[in-house]
Amino acid sequence: MSTLAPAGQAATDIAWITWVMLAGAVLLMALMSALWLHASHPARAEPLRWSDQRILIGGGLILPLSVIVLLLIYGVRSGQSMLPVDAPDLQVRAIGHQWWWQFEYTGPDGRVVRLANELHLPVDVRVDVLIESVDVIHSFWVPALGGKLDAIPGRTNTLRLMPTRPGRYQGQCAEFCGAGHAHMRFEVTVHEAGAYANWLAAAPAAGEVRSDGSKP
């Protein structure tokens, strides 16, 4: 469930962003604390002789602005690459209910498979998850694969994922949705190339769908 052990493209990119920003933040923290401790120390040497302008322009404008601009360039480019701009290889519907997820797959033959709390994806394929809700707002999140996106009644949000490592991962609802929020988990299986088609062909048409909201 960790964002720092990524198994998908977006999650990998974001994990890098996280490490870079954390390092920068620690550096800036250390700098500010050191400056403050020195400046407020009664026994330090002579008062600073720089002009007010110089300190304020340097510390108040140039320092934050340069950090922000660099960060924005990095972040916006990276964010752009995570959006579903090109056509996906595969689409899966994820429908939030209080308090479970329904996943809907359409096979190449047009057969529709519906499963509760069980998401299956092929590795190294661009997947669009079409996220909807039938009741309150939920949020679809598989930390190992990528960021989260809300399930909002009346809308369909599209989340682009691309798993890069086969395995089993955990997903969960990230937006508080009432009594069962803490238990609104689901299991993600990323299949080896080719294995996904076999799984889909063998999957029961309406696996474990619960309509009453009881825990599957």
Partner 1 sequence: MSSENADLNQTRLEALSAAFATPPGWGRLAAVNHSIIGLRFIATSLVFFVIGGLLSMLIRAQLAIPGNRFLDHDSYNQIFTMHGTVMMFLFAIPLIEGLALYFIPKYLGARDLSFPRLSAFGYWCYLFGGATLLLAMFAGVAPDSGWFMYTPLSSGEYSPGINADVWLIGVTFVEVSAIAFGIELVATVLKVRTGGMSLNRMPLFGWYILITALMMVVGFPPLILGSILLELERAFGWPFFDVALGGDPLLWQHLFWLFGHPEVYIIFLPAAGAVSMMIPTFARRPIVGYPWIVAAIIGTGFISFGLWVHHMFTVGIPQLALVFFSAASMFVAVPTAIQFFAWLATLWKGRPVRSLPMLYLFGFLFTFVCGGLTGVMLALVPFNWQAHDTHFVVAHLHFVLIGGFVFPLLAAAYYWLPLMSGRAPSETMGKWGFWLIFIGFNLTFLHMHLTGLLGMPRRVYTYSTGLGWDGLNLVSSIGGFVLTIGFAMFFLDLVVRLWAGRNSEGNPWQAGTLEWSLAHPPAAYNFASQPEVQSREPLWEQQDIERQIRDGEGYLPQVRHGWQETLGVHAVTGKPDQIILLPGPSYLPLIAAALLGVFFLGFLFKLYWISAVGAVVALLVGLRWAWITGLDRDWPKLDAGRGIELPLHAQVRDAPGWWGMAVGLLVNGTFYITLLFGYLYLWAVAPGWPPPTFIDSPILLAFLSALAIAVSAFALDRSVRGNADGRPPTLTLIVALVSALVATIALSVELATGIAPPSSHAYAATTTFLLGYCALHTGLTAVMSGHALLRWRHGYISPLRSLDLRVIRLWAGYTAVVTVIALALVHGLPKLLGGVA
Chain positions 66 to 85 lying near partner 1, rule: CB under 8 A, are 67-68, 71-72, 75-76, 78-80, 82-83
Structure tokens at 76: 């916006």
Among 105, 116, 120, 175, binds partner 1 (CB under 8 A): 175
Binding to partner 1 (CB under 8 A): which residues in 183-212?
none
Contact range with partner 1 by CB under 8 A, out of 6-14, 106-114, 190-198, 200-208:
6-14
Q: Are 149 and 123 in contact (CB under 8 A)?
A: no
Among 8, 96, 122, 146, binds partner 1 (CB under 8 A): 146
Work out the burial of residue 112: count CB atoms within 10 Å of its CB; fewer than 13 is exposed, 13-18 middle, 19 or more buried.
Answer: exposed
Which distant-in-sequence residues (6+ apart) come within 8 Å of 188 by Cβ?
A: 119, 120, 121, 142, 144, 145, 168, 169, 170, 171
For partner 1, give the closer residue by CB, 157 or 207: 157
Contact range with partner 1 by CB under 8 A, out of 109-117, 118-126, 170-178, 187-195:
170-178
Which residues share a beta bridge with 206?
Answer: 114
Q: Does 167 bind partner 1 (CB under 8 A)?
A: no
For partner 1, give the closer residue by CB, 18 or 198: 18
Among 7, 8, 14, 190, binds partner 1 (CB under 8 A): 14
Among 170, 189, 203, 207, binds partner 1 (CB under 8 A): 170
Secondary structure of residue 91 in the 3-state scheme: strand
Q: Are 33 and 22 in contact (CB under 8 A)?
A: no
Size of the site for partner 1 (CB under 8 A): 80
For partner 1, give the closer residue by CB, 37 or 193: 37
Distance from C-alpha of 62 to C-alpha of 60, rounded to nearest angstrom = 6
Long-range contacts, 198-201 (Cβ 8 Å, 24+): 199/120, 200/105, 200/107, 200/113, 200/120, 201/107
Among 58, 167, 194, 213, binds partner 1 (CB under 8 A): 58
